[in-house]
Amino acid sequence: MLWLIVTGAVTVAGELHTVMPVGANMDLFVMRNGCVLEEMAHTTGELRLRFSDCTTQPGHIDTPIAGRISHVHWEPATSGQVELRIGLLGNQRITARSVEDDPDDLLLCMPACGDDAPTGTQRFIEVKGLTLDIPLQGMDLDAIVDRSLGHVPTQDIVRDGLPNFGSVRDDWLGRSRSHKGIDIYVDSINVIAAADGRVTQVGSGGNSGQYIKIHHSDAVSTVYVHLRRALVRKGARVSRRQVIGTIDGASGNAVEPQLHFELQVNGIKVDPFGYLKQDKTVAPYLLEKIRIYEAKLSDAARIRALLVQ
């Protein structure tokens, strides 16, 4: 028997084989076993990462895989190099860092990774001189856009409708009605008061599950529907960000767990995203994302209209 012992300078290139969104912030996880990150070039609209000592098969992830990203594409460049291109919605900061457990992997975070991330403000919109917070504890603006306008329910868009204000739904009532709030698809989370105020209604119903209405000023009220539990009583004073209820599973006629959130201004139910779109302090990429999601929703509404004909 002949044994061959091979030793010496055998260079094994690394391989970039997986790019996937992870975590609540939809950070990008890049598995790059052995590839060396040589360069990270950030321009408006695109982030390019060049790896050396690297091989790959071309790959692509369709839009939108994450709230701030339009597409991800990677392919071999010149010999031993791989280029990863990430399309960005607007001008934004991205941090890249190695994953502690496995330095070969890379995490791309927008705008910052994990503990480095600034504690997100709950600020949602300004209405009649009043600051309203996002009514779900710990949620940021990106998540509220992704989980409402960005979420098209697939189970039954005839009865459940679309998450946006004004969408048509047939519900369990057997007739069409216009949706006078926004749905935010989320589970196992605390619901918080959007602003200081007084609880004017707490109730429950077959369609709504538990619900709460809060009067904030003479002009502004908010309503929170599809709660698992209401934690305040009618007449109670509540402060901004106070936990008032919980969502834990679908409640009422909701097929998927969600908060149905209503904003009333001068007694009329209005679209909270209308205020967000007019807000000069909102990041341009977020407005672009809203525009993209709303275009998709109007496509979905056309499909719904064909289904009910």
Q: What is the binding site for Zn ion (CB under 5 A)?
A: 181, 183, 260
Residue 131 tokens, joined: 């600051």
Smallest distance from the beta carbon of 202 to Zn ion, in angstroms?
18
Is the Cβ of residue 151 or residue 260 nearer to Zn ion in the bound state?
Answer: 260
Bridge partners of residue 223, in order along the sequence:
213, 262
DSSP type of residue 188: S
**Quick one: three-class SS letters along 30-41?**
EECCCCEEEEEE
Is the Cβ of residue 15 or residue 183 nearer to Zn ion in the bound state?
Answer: 183
Minimal CB distance to Zn ion: which residue? 260
Nearest C-alpha neighbor of 245 from the set 270, 264, 228 = 228
Smallest distance from the beta carbon of 42 to Zn ion, in angstroms?
39
Nearest C-alpha neighbor of 182 from the set 262, 116, 288 = 262
Smallest distance from the beta carbon of 298 to Zn ion, in angstroms?
18
Q: Are 84 and 72 in contact (CB under 8 A)?
A: yes
Is the Cβ of residue 32 or residue 169 nearer to Zn ion in the bound state?
Answer: 169
Is the Cβ of residue 14 or residue 257 nearer to Zn ion in the bound state?
Answer: 257
Main-chain dihedrals φ then ψ at residue 176, nearest 5 degrees = -75, 145
* Rounded Cα distance, 203 and 194, in Å: 19
Smallest distance from the beta carbon of 211 to Zn ion, in angstroms?
11
Is the Cβ of residue 213 or residue 260 nearer to Zn ion in the bound state?
Answer: 260
Smallest distance from the beta carbon of 183 to Zn ion, in angstroms?
4
